[in-house]
Structure 1
């Protein structure tokens, strides 16, 4: 059985991973600010102090927010950069060799857009940590039912069928993608063994998910 640490289990992607995982094949320990009540082992942390984690085969980081939800750029960065790296370093200290992180399409440490720049910066820092295998998941717009209200995302989800018509070829990475597909792709990656740094956009995520 494969063991996994999952940060961000109460978010959209984290919930999809929990909903789809086979308990006979993957033993999940969640790491987050509140318990999910869905797995036996849950570690509660605010990600502001060092975390004592058990060893596992893989660590999955699905932490993420938006500037609007966080309330400021600094608050956004504290989640999408600081908390991600706190979890990654704790996982590494626990002996985890394989790390999977949910980033975003267009992530670039030199981007003019703050959101994309922070995502790129955290990817760069994760690469420098030296995990044996680092999988960077870069989905387009996540399609799924969120607990929180995000008006802009709601509008984009409604218009996704129309915009998808124009997002062909290389542009399909910006199209919407069902969160179930992202969750299934992450679960498929949990068994990947070859060392290296890998990035996955919409097309490759669908291939991994098998739908």
Structure 2
């Protein structure tokens, strides 16, 4: 029996919380023969399948390869505190995502997956959620064969920098979590990465080329990946 063709993956944001976890999954899986990571700095990961491209994200339009790519994974994201002003936040969470999507489209990517946020909506009163919603709508307009949007709630993981607002949020979730609906409870970054990987490589789109995964579904998919249980 003929073995399935190995794939090529393209990832951006591989040095971030979710991206680090996802990069490990991609490198360890035999379904991928090459993993191309675009970043502003080299990672500390060494692997024969890994090809790193270091560039300014303002110059993403110059990134090019002489081969097509199967799956693209976008793990870009920042916070208003880190960005310091709305224009910088918009550049990371919308403009750079758009540039990356254009790179993916030029290289015949069939499946594009992206980490968005819970309650993303283009007309949200909250700027963060509004930009995420605008980003989602932009990607829907590109018409990939398949678009997977993950909307995790508060991400739980070990950051290099201190974020007092997030730390307070995690503290409150820890105390009051039992009172919150599943979609608003905190979620581990490794669960998001596992669900992202599982959705692209195991699930098939049956009704629409756009799939939106809220936090409760993300947790189910992460569990399914760990137990090798295929969910409909």
Instruction: Give the structure 2 partner of residue 166 of structure 1.
Output: 179
Q: Which runs of no fewer than 5 residues in structure 1 stay unpaired?
A: none
Q: Which runs of no fewer than 5 residues in structure 2 stay unpaired?
A: 1-5, 227-232
Kindly state the Cα deviation for residue 208 of structure 1 after the two structures are TM-superposed: 1.0
Q: Does 1:154 align with 2:167?
A: yes
Instruction: Give the structure 2 partner of residue 189 of structure 1.
Output: 199
Q: TM-score, normalising length from structure 1?
A: 0.93
Instruction: Give the structure 2 partner of residue 19 of structure 1.
Output: 24
Kindly state the Cα deviation for residue 20 of structure 1 after the two structures are TM-superposed: 3.4
Q: Does 1:142 align with 2:155?
A: yes
Instruction: Give the structure 2 partner of residue 32 of structure 1.
Output: 39
Q: Does 1:55 align with 2:61?
A: no
Q: Does 1:7 align with 2:12?
A: yes
Kindly state the Cα deviation for residue 72 of structure 1 after the two structures are TM-superposed: 0.8
The separation in 1 between residues aligned to 2:173 and 2:162, in whole angstroms, is: 18
The separation in 1 between residues aligned to 2:204 and 2:102, in whole angstroms, is: 20
* Secondary structure of 2:141's aligned partner: helix
Deviations 1:6-29 (A, max 9, x none): 100011110111233424333321
* Secondary structure of 2:165's aligned partner: helix
Q: Which moved more, 1:61-70 or 1:158-167?
A: 158-167
* Secondary structure of 2:173's aligned partner: helix
TM-align CA RMSD: 1.5
Deviations 1:95-114 (A, max 9, x none): 11110000000100011110
Computing the radius of gyration from Cα coordinates, the structure with the larger value is: 2
* Secondary structure of 1:121's aligned partner: helix
Q: How does 1:69-148 map to 2 (within 5 A)?
A: 69-148=82-161
Q: Which moved more, 1:34-43 or 1:133-142?
A: 34-43
* Secondary structure of 1:48's aligned partner: helix
Kindly state the Cα deviation for residue 167 of structure 1 after the two structures are TM-superposed: 0.7
**Equivalent pair of 1:30/1:42 in contact (CA under 8 Å):** yes
Deviations 1:24-45 (A, max 9, x none): 3333211111121324301112
Q: Which moved more, 1:80-89 or 1:148-157?
A: 148-157
Deviations 1:129-153 (A, max 9, x none): 0101000000000000011221111
* Secondary structure of 2:109's aligned partner: coil
Q: TM-score, normalising length from structure 2?
A: 0.85
Q: Which moved more, 1:27-36 or 1:95-104?
A: 27-36
* Secondary structure of 1:4's aligned partner: strand
